Amino acid sequence: SHVMSPVYGLAEASVGLAFTPPGERWSVDLLDRERFSTTGEATPAAPADPAPLKVVACGTVIPDHDLRVVDAAGLELPDSSEGQLQFRGPSATSGYYRNPQATKTLFDGEWVNTGDRAYLSEGRLYITGREKDIIIRGGRNISPYELEEAVGDLAGVRRGCVAVFGAANTAGGTERVVVLAETRERDAARHQELKGKINELAMGLIGAPVDDIVLAPPHTVPKTSSGKIRRVAAREYYERGPAAVRPQAVWLQFVRLVLAGAFPQTRRGWRVVRGLAFAAYAWALFAVLFLLVFVVAAVAPGRTTWRLGQRCAWLFLRLCAIPLAVRGLENLPRNGSYVVASNHTSYLDGAVLLAILPWHKSAFVAKRELRDSFITRIFLGGLGAQFVERFDVQKSAEHADELAGAAREGTTLIVFPEGTLLRQTGLLPFRTGAFQTAVQAQVPVVPVALRGVRSVLRDGTWYLRRAPISVTIGAPVAPEGTDWNAAVKLRDRVRAEILKHCGEPDLAAAG
């Protein structure tokens, strides 16, 4: 039933970069138009919104490649925040042929600039426009595509022959929004009627009338050989044609050009400064709270450290104004031990789980390498962590038996069965060890789905951002048997439950 699916690609990535999985329905976000254009936040529109902004998902990134969205300072943005799209991967170009200057601007370290604006949500890519085509007016970012399409649908206007672009504002401030549309109509009254309809469309789509409308004869709007609108060339045509302002001194043109960009640049700069200030504040707060828990962990490990750590983790999220929504706390067993299995998205996952999980003779299961560091050994040891070997087969088996014994004796184990974390959005395959432990001890596994923590602190960066976090605690899943097959079945059932609520794509299926 899905004959066509939206995808994304560019020549710099050997074309293909993101694809909608076969058979998957199109995903279309309906956004609050005003908030998106002024803040760049992809906020769902109200149900009664008569003209929401519609953005189509272009699928998920292909294997071995990665996407990110950054702000004007090159700092990574959280999900549902619009910015400049970058990618990396083995299919990336090494540069432009005999054009070192263009090649230099193409790269941001190991990342490649696409020239597109976009946002990411639940692992899906949403393209919102071309960087060079965005019009900035009154502190709002205006994308030309939707208005071009709507104007092209008007009777009397040639479809596909409309260009919407920003022109220099000679009065200072921000850019002027100009519509250049081709028509075969010659009657002046008909022209006025078309201009009125175009402004009505503009009011509904960009919230204000356009600054100028040029109705031109056929073949005026410049296009590429493949039929794409050349908006830069259209702007040059407009500014140099009869509608352009009278020639002025070069110095005056320069001053007014600087003034035209002053407000948008100031607004973007303030966002960057505000983001950096929040990150510095959050890390300073984290350091103080971590030190407090560390000292207590060294002298009073166990329940006392856990409860203090829980209060500090909750306080950290509260003082950072990071929204935390928890669903399903009633699913945690009140009697007997169990295993908590959670997806691993960020280095803050442990703090989030610590903030919400009650003390139940609980213990995080951590890799043995963390025991080699004095700081992590004291801190995690104070929380009752169990350290396990991942690579030595014999020791790994011994540790698995120890974990099963601890579970039988009433210890609640908290594990991340993915075994690692990546910056790429998605749920990795689960390892079977934790589920073997549950089968051996005959204790249930409680699936916990973390969502949004990756947006707060993504792997590969220490730039903390404020983003909403949700935690979904599923019903306990009991093992059905005592053999290896029972462990595999238990693993698959728990993973399916987490995948349902984590809001991220299945990387096991993609790989």
pLDDT in tens, 366-402: 988 899 999 999 999 999 999 988 766 677 677 788 9
26, 115: one domain: yes
Residue 443 token pair: 């204790």
Contacts of 62 (CB under 8 A, 6+ apart): 16, 17, 18, 19, 89
Please determine, for residue 70, whether its predicted confidence score (pLDDT) is greater than 60: yes
Measured CA to CA in angstroms, residue 244 lies from 38, 194, 282 at distances of 28, 21, 50
Does residue 456 sit within a domain? Answer: yes
- CATH classification of the domain holding 117: 2.30.38.10
User: 244-288, pLDDT tens digit by residue?
Assistant: 333 445 565 466 556 555 655 676 677 788 889 999 999 999 999
d(CA 346, CA 359): 22
Same domain, 241 and 305: no
In a domain, 59, yes or no: yes
Which domain-ending residue is among 86, 104, 131? Answer: 131
CATH assignment of the domain containing 144: 3.30.300.30
For residues 124 and 142, state if they share a domain: no
Q: Are residues 117 and 152 in the same domain?
A: no
Range of the domain at 443: 276-510
Alpha-carbon distance of 34 to 64, in angstroms, equals: 36
Does residue 265 form part of some domain?
Answer: no
33/148 same-domain check: no
297 occurs within a structural domain: yes
Residue after which a domain boundary falls, among 86, 110, 131: 131
Are 343 and 483 part of one and the same domain? yes
One domain for residues 92 and 145: no
Asked if residue 202 and residue 285 are part of one domain, the reply reads: no
Q: Please check whether residue 386 is in contact with residue 413, taking contact to mean a CB–CB distance below 8 angstroms.
A: yes
Please write the tens of the pLDDT for every residue from 437-458. 999 999 999 999 999 999 999 9
Q: What average pLDDT does the segment 21-28 reach?
A: 88
Query: What average pLDDT does the segment 226-243 reach?
Result: 78
In a domain, 1, yes or no: no
Are 284 and 237 members of one domain?
Answer: no
Q: What is the pLDDT of residue 58?
A: 96
CA distance 492 to 511: 17
Contacts of 110 (CB under 8 A, 6+ apart): 88
The whole-angstrom separation of Cα 477 and Cα 340 is 10
What is the per-residue pLDDT across 184-226, written as a single tens digit (0 to 9) for each? Answer: 999 999 999 999 999 999 998 888 889 999 999 998 998 887 8
Do 361 and 463 reside in the same domain of the chain?
Answer: yes
pTM, to two decimals: 0.74
Q: Are 293 and 309 in contact (CB under 8 A)?
A: yes
Q: Stretch 478-501: mean pLDDT, rounded?
A: 96
pLDDT at 243: 41
**Strand runs labelled E in 90-142:** 107-108, 111-121, 124-130, 135-137, 140-142
> Which among 247, 267, 291 is the end of a domain?
247
The CATH number of residue 408's host domain is 3.40.1130.10
Domain membership of residue 261 (yes or no) is no
Percent of the chain with pLDDT over 70: 91
Q: State the Cα–Cα distance between residues 181 and 218, nearest whole angstrom.
A: 9
- Give the model's pLDDT for residue 249: 54
On whether residue 262 sits in a domain, the answer given is: no
Question: Using CA atoms, how far apart are residues 184 and 168, in angstroms rounded to an integer?
Answer: 28
The pLDDT of residue 133 is above 90: no
| Rounded distance between C-alpha atoms, residue 182 and residue 122, angstroms | 40
| Residues 404, 504 share a domain | yes
Residue 292 tokens, joined: 């407090």
**Helix, strand or coil for residue 333?**
coil
Residues 452-472: b if buried by 16+ CB within 10 A, e if exposed: bbbbbbbeeeebbbebebbbb
Residues 490 and 437 in one domain: yes
**How many domains is the chain built from?**
3
Average pLDDT value for residue range 76-102: 94
Structure confidence at residue 337 (pLDDT): 94
Q: What is the CA 371 to chain-centroid distance, rounded? A: 33
Does residue 263 belong to any structural domain of this protein?
no
